[in-house]
Chains A and B, each alone.
Chain A
Amino acid sequence: MRIALFADIHANRQAFEACLAQAREFAAERTVLLGDYVGYGADPDWTVTTVMELVDKGAIAVLGNHDSAIGNPREQMNVEARIAIDWTRGELGAEQRRFLAGLPLDRVDGERLYVHSEASNPSAWIYVTSAYEASRSLSFNPAQITFCGHIHRPAIYSMSPTAKMTAFTPTTGAAVPLLQGRRWLAVLGSVGQPRDGNPAACFAMFDTDKRELTYCRVPYDVEQAVAAIRKKGLPRWLADRLLVGQ
């Protein structure tokens, strides 16, 4: 089975549409959404509605910290994220807000675990920035393969049977076999706000038969996404950073 995984869409309609089209071309049979559908971007209502439709058709979706902040104003955030979330709250319909509030923190799918951030304590929204957090995430959760997002930079960590960790930055388009003998944590890049210096939208395809994970980069109409953010009067940096992928 081919699974398409999307993380950190952040209400970027142009990027999400481009990634969905690419995933259809790759004949994805299942869709997994790893949280943070809203925040930062200009199209939260469209994005959440699209996610709801995908879930109706069998997609799996988990909760991100920005999604949680919609119904939970005490969630810790930086100033720009806070401004964007306060604005987003007024954009979403009741049905969309109910949907976000009902999302689970994590989901198990066979040998795979889907979660937004570090998995040992998902509601703490810890960033997996190094082998240290990856090792904690893998130690406190029995899943063979964990997929997460949150940090907006692609990375693959593995843990050997003797608990040795390796870290790796995947190359776009090069399939990485996730070997049976060890446990894996795959951190996805962001669909809607990449921060690894590459402005192209990022998602991943996982082939469960070959156990191969491929990171994909999709160029999209960044200018339009930037113009939409400016038009809504959101902080300027949220628009500008999309141009440089930071």
Chain B
Amino acid sequence: MAKPLHEPGLVLDGFRLEDVAHRGGMAAVWRVTRPDVTTPMLMKVPRIDEGTDPAAIVSFEMEQMILPRLTGPHVPKCIAVGDFARQPYIALECIPGKSLFARLAELPLPYEAVAEIGAKVARALDDIHRQHVVHLDVKPSNIMFRPSGDAVLIDFGLSHHDQLPDLMQEEFRVPLGTAPYMSPEQLRGVRNDPRSDLFALGVLLYFFSTGTRPFGGRETIRAMRRRLWRDPIPPRRLRPDYPPWLQEIVLRCLEIEPGYRYPTAAQLAFDLTHHDAVKLTARSEKLKRDRFTTVLRRRFNKELTRPSRTALATHISSSPIIAVAIDLSEGSKAINDALRVTTDRILATLPSARLACVNVLKQGRITIDFTLDEHGHNKQIDRLVALRHWAAPIRLDERRLTAHVLEAVDPAAAILDFAKSNSIDHILIGARQNSLLRTLLGSVSAKVAAEAQCTVTVVRPPPTADDDAAPAEKNPAPLSAAGGKR
């Protein structure tokens, strides 16, 4: 054991070392304080002595480059970085509580709980992927949660940043990562595919829902290489009550070929939060692993898991989630047709995009609403059918299409909330020019366009001769209480 370089009470660049929170093979983590900072902080100090693995230093350098460039709730805030010329360190926000690792004793967890954890982690991954980073070491001990519920990813020592030199890439010829969670392409040295993180999350979901690791826990290269051609035992085989939707999601994450997985973490989060909308393919029913011939074909197919050459940003921007807000009230045919034309145009260029069709079932502010209408129809289901009917001419693969009926008093707020909680990239919404409701209540599309955090396209129907003749106020559209958007 090397002589400790630091002792409690030492002050480094204004940070006072209090006590050691964790001492790992590569670095020691200290609890530190600084008079001008009130939040709890940690300081990561790498071990540098004779015999230190060069990997430890390079990994620390990577974290020093990446962490200060990341923002948002899903990463610990980086407070200061000390360079290698004097004393290398990273001072960062201390996330209270324990990592997901602490829950290993409780496995398997209930399916709903696993999906909830998975959705939170997927949203965190989506956030860092959009910031040009692939984590590459997603595992329970690297996942924490804020009191708000947001997942926080920690330890970026193995990560790849699409806009920074990858110091790990050239340095080591062995696969980098944690054996049970490592994706097939990572084993082959690919470090720039965000779908590697989805594979690792798939391993975690499998493990947390079955109590068994899909590829075992062994760390030999030989044992790890099997996942290049051998698929895991389907979870339903281990737990007969395993929900088909969850098996569909988990096995899709664990696809050997990255192209068969979810294209983005946002799309995975979407499915994890909308179980009933998950398109169930043969995956969801599998009870056996792939046939021997399939495995053999993979075994000798060099094309699989070839390095991807697309930049991270390009990959993500080609797989957006698009939400289209459809008004199902009377007299909205023209606007809905116009919306379909625009939707079609956008989807034509984006083969990995997903479409979420949304309708708002308006609730009275005071009255109690019933699910059934006066004829005993279920309004929710009627609306879902109508949404699918609207989307049918687009001829979209069912895996890329979902329909949602939101119940709300304020349609604009409901659409904005849906967009935010589902990481929607683009909202398409119609605006009616001549509507009394619009005049009375204000425009839903205007509010959505003004307040959404994503891109919004406001679609208008093609002008008719009528529009030119009559001024807006004198040509009210039929008033309909069930109207969602104008």
Contact = CB atoms under 8 A, between A and B. Distances in A.
Partners in one complex: yes
B83 A181 contact: yes
Contact of B166 (A160, A168, A179, A181): A168
B170 A166 contact: yes
Query: Size band of the A side of the interface?
Result: 20 to 34
Interface in A153-211: 156, 158, 160-162, 164-168, 170-171, 174, 176-177, 179-182
A187 to B, nearest CB: 13
Contacts of A131: 170
A213 to B, nearest CB: 11
B163 A166 contact: no
Contacts of A166: 165-167, 169-171
A177 B65 contact: yes
Contacts of B164: 168, 174, 176-177
A182 B64 CA distance: 13
A165 B167 CA distance: 8
24 contacts: A131-B170, A160-B57, A160-B167, A162-B54, A166-B165, A166-B167, A166-B170, A166-B171, A167-B165, A167-B170, A168-B164, A168-B165, A174-B164, A176-B163, A176-B164, A177-B64, A179-B61, A179-B83, A180-B84, A181-B61, A181-B83, A181-B88, A182-B61, A182-B167
B325 to A, nearest CB: 34
B343 to A, nearest CB: 32
Given A160-B57, A166-B169, A181-B88, 20 more contacts: A131-B170, A156-B165, A160-B54, A162-B54, A166-B166, A166-B170, A167-B165, A167-B170, A168-B165, A168-B166, A171-B163, A174-B163, A174-B164, A176-B164, A177-B65, A177-B164, A179-B61, A180-B84, A181-B61, A181-B83
A161 B60 CA distance: 14
Nearest to B57: A181
A179 B84 CA distance: 8
Contacts of B167: 158, 160, 166, 182
The residue in B57, B65, B83, B164 that gathers the most chain A C-beta atoms within 10 A of its C-beta is B164
Given A160-B58, A164-B170, A166-B171, A176 B88 contact: no
Given A179-B83, A179-B84, A181-B61, A160 B165 contact: no
A131 B84 CA distance: 23
Interface string B461-480: 00000000000000000000
Interface in B3-43: none
Contacts of A164: 54, 170-171
Query: Size band of the B side of the interface?
Result: 10 to 19
B85 interface: yes
Contact of B83 (A162, A170, A180): A180
Interface of B: 54, 57-58, 61, 64-65, 83-85, 88, 162-167, 169-171
A2 to B, nearest CB: 19
B162 A171 contact: yes
A182 to B, nearest CB: 8
Given A164-B170, A164-B171, A181-B83, A176 B165 contact: yes
Nearest to B64: A179
A135 to B, nearest CB: 11
A35 B468 CA distance: 65
A181 B84 contact: yes
Contacts of A174: 163-164
B310 to A, nearest CB: 14
B357 to A, nearest CB: 36
A180 B166 contact: no
Nearest to A181: B84
A119 B162 CA distance: 29
Interface in A71-102: none
User: Would you list the 6 A-B pairs with minimal beta carbon distance, nearest first?
Assistant: A181-B84, A168-B165, A174-B163, A180-B83, A180-B85, A171-B163
Contacts of A156: 165
A158 B64 CA distance: 16
A156 B163 CA distance: 12
Nearest to B84: A181
A133 to B, nearest CB: 15
A161 B58 CA distance: 10
Contacts of B65: 177, 179
B165 A158 contact: yes
Contacts of A171: 162-163
The residue in A131, A171, A179 that gathers the most chain B C-beta atoms within 10 A of its C-beta is A179
A165 B170 contact: yes
Contacts of B162: 171
B62 to A, nearest CB: 10
Nearest to A131: B170
Contacts of B169: 166
A181 B84 CA distance: 5
Nearest to B83: A180
A208 B472 CA distance: 61
A171 B132 CA distance: 11
Contacts of A158: 165, 167
Contacts of B163: 170-171, 174, 176
Interface string A52-67: 0000000000000000
A174 B84 CA distance: 22
B443 to A, nearest CB: 37
B133 to A, nearest CB: 12
Contacts of B88: 181
Contacts of A177: 64-65, 164
A160 B169 CA distance: 13
